[in-house]
Structure 1
Amino acid sequence: MSNDFYTSSILPYAAMIIKICRAYTNTQEDFEDYYQEVCLQIWKSRNNFRGQSEWSTWVYRLSLNVSMTLLKKQKNNRQHLDSGYLPSEVSDEPRAFTEDALEQLYSAIRQLSEVDRGVILLYLEEKSYQEIAEIIGTNPNNIGVRVKRIKERLKKLLDGKIN
């Protein structure tokens, strides 16, 4: 990957990519793997960008798709191993970030479905319902209802009312 491409086409969107990768990982190591894979896939797929949307929308969609794919691969790999030897949640490994309140929010977000994680991340980035619908691949009317339900679930998770 050329330094020019990274500087001009990935670096301006690094914060967005970091947020997405962070929402789909529990450890610093996984976070770094996801971030690297997203950047690699952006570079490998750059010629597939047709300009039918904004570059940022395309990067968002690709970042979400890569993160969801990696998460599914991890889940599949865990199912093939003897689950008796695996902890249900990795807790001894260091977290990617240390701020308590922010970590609690990301912990709650990680408990959402894969698609809901993407929706709430886009909402937190102040994307319009139309933009979120384009990135997720659904209709804008569904996004408003979905955001409301996700907020209610996050509130319950953060208040400790559900696990």
Structure 2
Amino acid sequence: MKETETIFLSLINQHKAIIHKISKMYMHGGEEQQDLFQEIVMQLWKAYPSFKGHSKFTTWMYRVALNTALVYFKKENRKVDKAPLDENIDLIDESDSAEKEEKLAYLYKAVQELNAVEKALIFLFLENQSHREIAENLGISEVNARVKLNRTKEKLQFIIKKNGYEF
């Protein structure tokens, strides 16, 4: 295996949780999530030669992965339905309580009602990205990121209350 491939695969393996989280944000079921996961990895590989190391690998990875998810989501004309998410949410440690798991499942159900850009905003916020980092990753101004994020958080709170998911 070439050195470039080895380095790329190592980086993907180290940060695959990012791709899993984005896949869960944009797709309901396991097969759809897996398809998006594979599409993101493929696009990361295609774009890898353009990664020059001017930013952290994860910053570049977020940007490519989110752009891929947005394009994939639009291209497939996916409609969000109210179907429950997979119960196998693997984003939480096994040591977490059932209550925390239930709250996370409610959050993912509510997030499914957001549009593609709003999902990206919430994902980056949940990843503890600053407004500056969110703006960089989405290609918008920091002020715009702050405003859009606040509106999206309000919308998400409304959805949670509307659906009786309050916790």
TM above 0.5, yes or no, is yes
Q: What is the letter of the counterpart of residue 44 of structure 1?
A: K
- C-alpha deviation, 1:90, in angstroms: 7.2
- C-alpha deviation, 1:156, in angstroms: 1.0
Q: Is the 8 A contact 1:97 1:103 kept in 2?
A: no
Distance 2:153 2:111 in 1: 10
Q: Is residue 145 from structure 1 mapped to residue 137 from structure 2 by the alignment?
A: no
Q: What is the letter of the counterpart of residue 145 of structure 2?
A: I
- Root-mean-square deviation over aligned CA pairs: 2.4
Quick one: which of 53, 78, 86 aligns to 1:95?
86
- SS of 1:75's equivalent in the other structure is coil
Q: Is residue 52 from structure 1 mapped to residue 44 from structure 2 by the alignment?
A: no
Aligned to 2:160: 158
Aligned to 1:113: 115
Aligned to 1:33: 35
Q: Is the 8 A contact 1:26 1:96 kept in 2?
A: no
In structure 2, relative to structure 1, the CA distance for the partners of 1:54 and 1:153 (3 Å cut) is same
- C-alpha deviation, 1:11, in angstroms: 1.7
Aligned to 2:8: 5
In structure 1, the gaps of 5 or more residues are 79-87
Q: What is the letter of the counterpart of residue 95 of structure 1?
A: D
Quick one: which of 101, 126, 129 aligns to 1:127?
129
- Listed one character per residue, the Cα deviations across residues 98-151 of structure 1 (whole Å, up to 9, x for unaligned) are 543222211211211211111111011111111110000011112222221111
Name the TM-score, length of structure 2 as normaliser. Answer: 0.79
Q: Is residue 64 from structure 1 mapped to residue 66 from structure 2 by the alignment?
A: yes
Q: What is the letter of the counterpart of residue 6 of structure 1?
A: L
Distance 1:115 1:17 in 2: 16
- C-alpha deviation, 1:161, in angstroms: 6.1
- Listed one character per residue, the Cα deviations across residues 60-97 of structure 1 (whole Å, up to 9, x for unaligned) are 01110111111112217x8xxxxxxxxx73738x7263
Distance 2:39 2:162 in 1: 34
Identity %: 33
